[in-house]
């Protein structure tokens, strides 16, 4: 097979699949939930997490006013909910009411925590920077909600019990196959083999 080489990024879906989360926000009696595939951990100490959002989004407006946001990780059985909150406008519809979204109580912020999430972060906004047509919102994680039974003893997601919502681009979602995990110890694989450096 021959690769195509180009300076044009095209549809920019090469980095998928990616775990898709639901970002939540609340301010002044208004709350919203939106799907986001562009998110990342940034630091262990302090615990920082980032989400990339368009400044045109209603959720972005709520976060910049409240200075806090939630990041909710959902199982693949809730992919339809992720698509629903991603395909509707929070400025026009109360998504929590329209899609019967159940919530757990936050403990350090006012952000909605989704009851169906197997894990969720409550974040306080510490930085907001423009990168092209998106803004990278960085939050310090001030509370974590998680289902212990969804994780292994070493606190990695147990794919025999939970499959995360994975987004492939172009409105396509997929799940991880059970038994598809391959554990490779990087210390063993990182050793120089055959005397080459």
* SS3 state of residue 186: helix
Q: Name beta bridge partners: 35.
A: 22
Q: Would you state the pLDDT for residue 141?
A: 98
Higher-confidence position of 125 and 183: 125
Task: Write the pLDDT tens digit of every residue in 33-62.
Answer: 999 999 999 999 999 999 999 999 999 999
Mean pLDDT to the nearest integer, 110-121? 98
Question: 193: pLDDT confidence band, cut at 50, 70 and 90?
Answer: low
- Asked if the model's pLDDT at residue 195 lies above 60, the reply is no
User: Which letter does DSSP use for residue 29 in this model?
Assistant: T
Name the fold adopted by 18-189: Pnp Oxidase; Chain A (2.30.110)
Q: Would you state the pLDDT for residue 194?
A: 55
Higher-confidence position of 131 and 6: 131
- Asked if the model's pLDDT at residue 183 lies above 80, the reply is no
* Those residues with Cβ within 8 angstroms of residue 60's Cβ, 6 or more apart along the chain or in another chain: 53, 54, 135, 137
Q: Would you state the pLDDT for residue 184?
A: 73
Task: State percent of the chain over pLDDT 70.
Answer: 93
- Could you give the CA distance from residue 49 to residue 58 in angstroms, rounded to a whole number? 20
Q: Listing from the earlier edge strand, what are the strands of the sheet with 68-73? A: 30-36, 21-27, 68-73, 119-131, 134-146, 48-53, 39-43
For the chain, what are the domain ranges? 18-189
Scanning the chain, the segments in alpha helix (DSSP H) are: 58-66, 79-86, 95-98, 186-189
Q: Would you state the pLDDT for residue 171?
A: 86
- Could you give the CA distance from residue 109 to residue 105 in angstroms, rounded to a whole number? 9
């Amino acid at each position: 097979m021959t690769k195509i080489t180009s300076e044009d990024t095209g549809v920019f879906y090469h980095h998928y699949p990616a775990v898709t989360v639901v970002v939540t926000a609340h301010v002044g009696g208004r709350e919203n939930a939106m799907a986001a595939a562009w998110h990342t951990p940034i630091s262990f100490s302090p615990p920082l997490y980032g989400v990339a959002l368009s400044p045109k989004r209603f959720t972005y407006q709520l976060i910049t006013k409240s200075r806090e946001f939630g990041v909710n990780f959902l199982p693949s059985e809730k992919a339809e909910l992720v698509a629903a909150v991603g395909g509707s406008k929070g400025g026009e519809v109360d998504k929590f009411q329209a899609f019967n979204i159940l919530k757990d109580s936050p403990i350090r912020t006012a952000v909605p925590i989704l009851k169906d999430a197997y894990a969720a972060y409550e974040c306080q906004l510490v930085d907001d920077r423009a990168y092209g047509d998106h803004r990278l919102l960085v939050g310090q994680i001030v509370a974590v909600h998680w289902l212990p039974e969804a994780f292994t003893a070493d606190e990695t997601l147990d794919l025999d019990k939970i499959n995360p919502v994975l987004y492939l681009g172009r409105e396509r979602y997929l799940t991880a196959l059970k038994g598809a995990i391959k554990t490779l110890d990087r210390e063993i694989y990182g050793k120089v083999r055959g005397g080459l450096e």
